[in-house]
Structure 1
């Protein structure tokens, strides 16, 4: 009986203390992520991808200003490699008042583009690649985005 009570208390504690600091992709929700470098030559200078709950797309336009997009579906293997990126998304970013964090690509260091759509509400950010110019809570997410882009491009 003591084990049962202990398990119940631990379960209640975990549920009470668990954070709702995660987002997910349902139905028409999506996460667009990419990077851009102004003084760069080659196809990898601007990479933009769209992640939904069941597909991954790549933008074929590669426009430095981010839009317009022309997304083409990638194979399921690529989707499987990056589908967990949404788990790295910091919910604190949703509360940011600024859409530009740091000075993306000002010092030729590049930038990260993020767009998140939930239930038709779209939020966009441009994030400096230089970590010392952006809040620390973004660092792990920046690493995840850059890592997934590198993985897709293998």
Structure 2
């Protein structure tokens, strides 16, 4: 009898696929994800890169403001959008519960930082995240890698 119970519970646990809407942020309607990186001790165009991902477009900031306070976006090609449109799938939901807007010490040791803004239904949350994984929670590690990979794809 115990074997049957264990087998039944196992089948229920492992045969059901998780509800993906509960595991990802949504980018639809007026919601968007802004992502980018910044490096203070840096020379050139790649020092500050900021992008905005909407339901149907990828846009690039033309101001390159280190603080992230001034943004002016221009639409990029659909081909670039197609390459990065899955980034929200990697957004860790734990980030939405962070009490601090600054995580780690972004760019303190000239290692750079990430700039992230998520907006849904007119409510925005933003974070500046240290690029050094030793200074941030483990749940952010994969997201940091994914953001940096998408920025590299865009800048090829």
TM-score of the pair, normalised by structure 2: 0.89
Gaps of 5+ in 2: 1-7
Matching of residues 68-83 of structure 1 within 5 Å: 68-83=70-85
Q: How many residues align?
A: 146
Query: What's the offset of the Cα at 1:18?
Result: 4.2
Offset at residue 123 of structure 1 (A): 0.1
Please name the residue that 1:99 is paired with. 101
* Cα displacement string for residues 13-44 of structure 1 (whole angstroms, at most 9, x for unaligned residues): 515x5461211111110000000000000000
CA RMSD in angstroms, aligned pairs only: 1.8
Residues 22-41 of structure 1 mapped to structure 2, 5 A cutoff: 22-41=24-43
Structure 1: gaps of 5 or more residues: 1-5
Q: Deviations over 1:58-104 (max 9, x none)?
A: 00000000121000000000000000001000011000001000000
Partner of 1:138: 140
Q: Which residue of 2 aligns with 1:3?
A: none
Alpha-carbon shift at residue 11 of structure 1 (Å): 9.4
SS at 1:147's partner residue? helix
Note closer, same or farther for the CA distance 1:41–1:97 as it changes in structure 2 (3 Å cut).
Answer: same
Which of structure 1's runs of 4+ aligned residues deviate more than 6 A? Answer: none
Correspondence 1:47 to 2:41: no
Q: Which residue of 2 aligns with 1:108?
A: 110
